[in-house]
Amino acid sequence: MALSEANLQAQATWNNRACGTLSESENEAAGTLETFNRLVERRYGRNDPWVPIVLDFPSMKGKEVLEIGHGQGCDLLHAAMAGGHVHGIDLTPNHHEICKRYFAALKRPVDLHLGNAGELPFASESMDIVYSLGVLHHTDNTVRCIGEAYRVLKPGGTFKIALYHFWSLPHLWLLMAGIIDGNLRRLGYRRLLSRIEGGADGVEISPLVKLYSARQLRTILGDFSNIDISIHGLAYDRIPLVGRFIPKWFGGAVERRWGWYVVANAKK
């Protein structure tokens, strides 16, 4: 399967800067255990404490678990440490290599593939759990990728997916900041959105960023059953200008209504 322009832009983005890193020096140190520990602390601490709750690592013990778009591999490693038999696929060579290094350093077995979510190299009905957080809104063939997740799941298997949420405060803040600093007029909406990814400038590096409502997510999960949808995260580190000043108490109900991720938990 040939890579689309969106796939090539995704590779360019995360080859340039490993996701979750906040600076050039942190990016250069990606792959070391010190960076991994900092990443975990930030992800499960202030930024995305909902992730371990949604993924429910203890439920993965003894299960065949696949992560689509594992990035640096923070969640996949936690799935492995919880006793899951873990498989991963990612499109970006930089992330594939970094993730391999973390698993080797922590001496955990893993089955990692460099490849495209639109064409999964796994047998049909081979996985108990498939999850993908913050990935399938960066591809132009989201529906096909979800179809692939469905194919590789065993009947009764669990699918968890998180996509960016259209009706969210981070989206609103991004637009307001774009109006204030002139980037919305200069770059246009699509390129402005792409700058939410670290290392993307919206000009040379401009990953595809799509946003979904809860209703749209439910629609594209067509074949799945028992679909449970929830909203999470305020993306503190990504909100331009004000993100770092937002107090934690601001979350709660606000986050559950206007958060940055629309998340589904569904059954095949």
Ligand X SMILES: C[S@@+](CC[C@H](N)C(=O)[O-])C[C@H]1O[C@@H](n2cnc3c(N)ncnc32)[C@H](O)[C@@H]1O
**Nearer residue to ligand X within complex by CB, 163 or 187:** 163
Does residue 69 interact with ligand X by CB under 6 A?
yes
Q: Comparing C-alpha atoms, which of 108, 155, 161 is closest to residue 130?
A: 161
**Is residue 95 part of the contact set for ligand X (CB under 6 A)?**
yes
200: contact with ligand X by CB under 6 A: no
20 lies in the binding site for ligand X (CB under 6 A):
yes
Binding of residue 86 to ligand X (CB under 6 A): no
* Interaction pattern, residues 227-246, with ligand X; x per rule: CB under 6 A: --------------------
User: Of 83-91, 105-113, 121-129, 227-235, which segment contacts ligand X by CB under 6 A?
Assistant: 83-91
Beta strands 85-90 and 225-232: pairing type?
A: unpaired
Which parts of 133-162 interact with ligand X (CB under 6 A)? Answer: 133-135, 138-139
CB of 139 to ligand X, least distance (A): 4
Q: Which of 164, 170, 154 is nearest to 235 (CA)?
A: 170
Q: Is 54 in the site for ligand X (CB under 6 A)?
A: no
- Binder to ligand X among 9, 21, 47, 116 (CB under 6 A)? 116
Report in angstroms how near the CB of residue 181 gets to ligand X at its nearest. 23
Is the CB of 138 or the CB of 165 nearer to ligand X? 138
The β-bridge partners of 194 are none
Shortest distance in whole angstroms from residue 63 CB to ligand X: 19
Q: Which of 31, 71, 199, 202 contacts ligand X by CB under 6 A? A: 71
* Least distance to ligand X, CB of residue 6, Å: 8
Number of residues that bind ligand X (CB under 6 A): 22
Q: CA 59, CA 47: separation in Å to the nearest integer? A: 23
Distance of CA 206 to the CA centre of its chain: 17
The token pair that represents 215 in the structure block: 């209703």
Asked if 14 touches ligand X (CB under 6 A), the answer is yes
Indicate the residue among 196 and 245 with the shorter CB distance to ligand X: 196
Residues that bind ligand X (CB under 6 A): 7, 10, 14, 19-20, 68-71, 89-92, 95, 116-118, 133-135, 138-139
